[in-house]
Amino acid sequence: MGIRLIGFDPGLRRTGWGVIEVHRNGLVHIASGAVTSNNKNSLADRLSELFDSLLEVIAIHAPAEAAVEETFVNKNPSSTLKLGQARGAVMLAPAQCGVPVAEYSANLIKKSLVGNGHADKTQVQAMVQILLPGAKPETKDAADALAIAICHAHHRRAPALVSAERSTA
């Protein structure tokens, strides 16, 4: 048996998750999906929904380590703040379960899978399919979460390398 990793693609409306196992001979897809929050609820209730749903996913799949995409700043400050709050709930869930959480920039995730930090989502999703044969993520968020888990699998034992990559990405 290998080490089980979970990747999260944070979002307030929908957070993708993807579970893989790292074996000596490669990566194995375990499961993927997305949890959602009801946009008619208050922000606090939506964050609570995401947190509770992710606790369930973590309890079911029992990952040893987690990885989350870092927040990027977009043109809408309100959207960026909401994403940051959702990301906080996403990071808190594994931490509350004693699962260490790593963070990776979008550019490093893309570079780790495709070899290009500015690759488009189609290229990243194609590499997820190549690296995890048989994986059929139902949403783009789930595919992105698997990409984050794969990135973590590649970098988890090389924190100095990740720091160096972040500074150049």
What is the set of active-site residues? 9, 69, 141
Exposed/middle/buried for residue 119 (C-beta within 10 Å: 0-12, 13-18, 19+): middle
pLDDT surpasses 50 at 164:
no
Residue 148 has pLDDT above 90, yes or no: yes
Q: DSSP for the chain?
A: --EEEEEEE--SSEEEEEEEEEETTEEEEEEEEEEE--TTS-HHHHHHHHHHHHHHHHHHH--SEEEEEPP---S-HHHHHHHHHHHHHHHHHHHHTT--EEEE-HHHHHHHHHS-TT--HHHHHHHHHHHSTT---SSHHHHHHHHHHHHHHHHTT-HHHHHHHHHH-
Do the Cβ atoms of 63 and 20 come closer than 8 Å?
no
Task: Look at residue 44 in the predicted model and tell me its pLDDT.
Answer: 96
pLDDT in the model for residue 158: 55
Is residue 161 over pLDDT 50? no
- Cα dihedral 101, 103, 108, 112, rounded to 10, equals 0
Quote the pLDDT of residue 163.
45
pTM for the model: 0.89
Report the percent of the chain where pLDDT is more than 70: 91
Does residue 115 or residue 18 have the better pLDDT?
Answer: 18
- Encode pLDDT of 45-92 as tens digits: 999 999 999 999 999 999 999 999 987 767 788 888 888 899 999 999
Residue 126 CA to residue 147 CA, distance in Å, equals 10
Mean pLDDT of 6-18: 96
- What is the structure's pLDDT at 73? 66
Whether residue 17 contacts residue 57, with contact meaning beta carbons closer than 8 Å, is answered with: yes
Q: Distance (Å, rounded) from C-alpha 37 to C-alpha 69?
A: 19
